Amino acid sequence: MTVLLRTDLPNLLHRGKVRDNYDLGDYLLIVATDRISAFDVVLPNGIPEKGAVLAQLSAFWFRKTAHLCRNHLAAMAYERDKVAGLPASAMLASLPSEIVRRATVARKAQRVDVECVVRGYLSGSAWAEYRSHGTIGGMLAPKGLRESDRLPEPLFTPTTKAETGHDMPMSFQQVADMAGEATARALGDKSIAIYTYAHDEARRKGIIIADTKFEFGYIDGAICVIDEMLTPDSSRFWDAKLYAPGASQPSFDKQIVRDWLTASGWNKEPPAPTLPDEIVQRTSQRYQEVFRLLTGERLR
């Protein structure tokens, strides 16, 4: 099984932790590689099929939620009928299959530099904050909540969009000061609307979306969802059958990797240790399983 760690195509714009972005004029070619990061460090070995899951699951959700908010998706690179009329169509047609399966053609957007986090359940850093201060995202929360409890309503807890290092929490006022009050309200409203719709869709398929994060940008003056959407990299997915509040929950994401790295004694500074084959394969299986459960389809 091919593991794609790096692409080298013409007109590279940006190489991120996971994605390689290429300039197609008014469009981008976004290739989700099989790279994996943890604690803000890219690990030396990749996860088979991870990039295909990220690209194809994002496309699934972009199309499912388009009635709630526009998004940047133009076509998947393997959708020959849709890419034929796009810029660089000849280049797209000549891409090797391992890239085609992981590649999205997207409209360029003017990004809003905010990570739009929505939390429906009390977990992760929100649980740590709640235990210490009784707040979630700086907002006073009900007393007596347990780890993994469902919150009375989804909360919008934005953070900075850091190119390096950790994202930092932002208040609504800080988002408004940076992007304008109307934009700040739109980001919160759209994030919660998409999360609520996706949570209910996933719950019917046996998956709980505990929390997630979105990115937005402007295309032709309209706010659109960009980057990725409701993937195991950007979301916390739990098995509904095993859900038992009061403790950490088994998840369909890279928590296996985080747990192994923590137990290894790694100091969370580069370079990261190489993952054992067992951890790589288990993580790959988790990503592919949640794709199948959510979409009812097999990876292309």
**Tens digits of residue pLDDT in 153-210:** 999 999 998 665 567 899 999 999 999 999 999 999 999 999 999 999 999 999 999 9
Distance CA 216, CA 284 (A): 28
Does the structure show a pLDDT above 80 at 34? Answer: yes
Angle at 15 between CA 13 and CA 18, to 5 degrees: 135
- Long-range contacts formed by 170-174: CB under 8 A, 24+ apart: 170/114, 171/138
Asked whether the predicted pLDDT for residue 134 surpasses 70, the reply is yes
Which pLDDT does position 163 carry in this prediction? Answer: 63
pTM of the model: 0.95
Residue that the structure tokens 């076509």 belong to: 75
